Amino acid sequence: MDFTLTDIYGREMGPLEHCGVNMVLGTDNDFQITIQNGLYDKERHGKNCRFFCPETEYGGLIRNTNPVTADKQVKLTGMTWRGLLNQRAINPSKNIYVYLNGEVNSVLHDYITKLDMAEIFEVSKEDSGITFNNYQVPLQTMLLDAFDQALASCNARLEIRYKQGSANGKGYVLLRAVSITDHSENIELNEDGSVKLNILDYKNGVNHLICLGAGEVEQRQQVDLFAWPDGSIRKEQYYTGIDLVEQYYENTTVDTVEELEEEGRKKLEELKDYKQLKISVDNTDLELGDIVGGRERITDIYMTAPVIRKIVDVTGRGRVSISYKLKGEE
């Protein structure tokens, strides 16, 4: 994995060499570059200089410089391209709901322009084939979070690629909406070769949540919710006898039974049976949002989960390691 540096205008200044790079994508969306004192150059390593790996989303904008004299090193930190997108509120002027409508790339282009982010970001002009249909963005939501959530509702994700400019020209970050890739349909991860797999199949979760709201004794609001083997939550009971696991949930802040049920469903999602998949994969570059599947051969337990975080580590000698966190991992 080879990185290139630019000046503050995006003009290439040569390779990033003999440096360690740590980058987190999907959660913190930040990075740290560690270089030796003698290699530091403020024209290449100063605030708002870029670094990138062509045709990938690996890179970002340098923001901070931290000399560590004891180690004779300089640590450069900043935000990845995702981090920059999530520094902007989708609707900073008013605290009202935003609704997304139309072909996704076109909608995203409008927001990149409106928020004055076109200096770095461009949006593909192609029709993604993915359409928002009056998607309501939660209040006080940042730009990246809003589009990540809206795209997930369409079984899609945001693709980010750094594009190099022509000779002596400025590069840019290309954004476009693409469908999520479900690797579980054609690749089944197991513990062969370079894959390390850990599956937890937790079957002692709560399956009857007794939700109590406002009121006293017999007049108190109550909703009974039941978890089913397929993972759904219903008002009809499935488990009985020794398989029945009950728990009380109190919430006196809600006004109606409907609100109590809504909050109770959220709580039961946290408490019911679940499966947890952890993987470590070499020689495979998964994208955020993509779905992977794993099977543990001894118990034959199988499950799928989307990738929600990537941690990229590059040593000064160029050795690359990528670790993943899946939805549901602690």
Residues near 283 by beta carbon (within 8 Å), at least 6 away in sequence: 194
- Full domain range(s) for residue 64: 3-84
Task: Mark whether 314 and 191 lie in a shared domain.
Answer: yes
**pTM here?**
0.70
Task: Mark whether 24 and 65 lie in a shared domain.
Answer: yes
Residue 315's CB is within 10 A of a number of other CB atoms, namely 12
Number of structural domains in the chain: 4
Task: Mark whether 194 and 321 lie in a shared domain.
Answer: yes
Last residue of a domain, one of 246, 266, 286: 266
Write down the pLDDT at residue 283: 55
Task: Mark whether 113 and 232 lie in a shared domain.
Answer: no
Task: Mark whether 188 and 319 lie in a shared domain.
Answer: yes
Are the C-beta atoms of 3 and 21 separated by less than 8 Å? yes
Task: Mark whether 164 and 64 lie in a shared domain.
Answer: no
Q: The domain spanning residue 153 has which CATH number?
A: 3.55.50
Task: Mark whether 162 and 94 lie in a shared domain.
Answer: yes
Write down the pLDDT at residue 315: 80
Write down the pLDDT at residue 186: 54
Last residue of a domain, one of 61, 84, 107: 84
The first and second tokens of residue 11, run together, are 């003009």
Task: Mark whether 174 and 98 lie in a shared domain.
Answer: yes
Task: Mark whether 322 and 187 lie in a shared domain.
Answer: yes
Task: Mark whether 227 and 279 lie in a shared domain.
Answer: no
Q: What is the pLDDT along the chain (330 residues), one digit of tens a residue?
A: 889 999 888 888 888 888 889 999 988 899 999 988 888 888 888 889 999 999 999 999 999 888 777 778 888 999 999 999 999 999 887 778 899 999 999 999 999 999 999 999 999 999 999 999 999 998 889 999 999 999 999 999 999 999 987 655 688 999 999 998 877 655 555 544 444 555 555 677 899 999 999 988 888 999 999 999 888 999 999 999 988 999 999 999 888 999 999 999 999 988 887 665 565 555 567 888 888 766 655 555 566 777 888 888 888 776 888 877 777 655
Last residue of a domain, one of 53, 84, 115: 84
Task: Mark whether 196 and 288 lie in a shared domain.
Answer: yes
Write down the pLDDT at residue 323: 78
Return the bridge partners of 225, or none.
Answer: 209
Task: Mark whether 63 and 187 lie in a shared domain.
Answer: no
Q: By three-state DSSP, how is residue 65 classified? A: strand
Write down the pLDDT at residue 191: 47
What is the C-alpha to C-alpha distance for residues 271 and 266, in angstroms, rounded to an integer? 9
* Phi then psi dihedrals of residue 211, to 5 deg: -95, 125
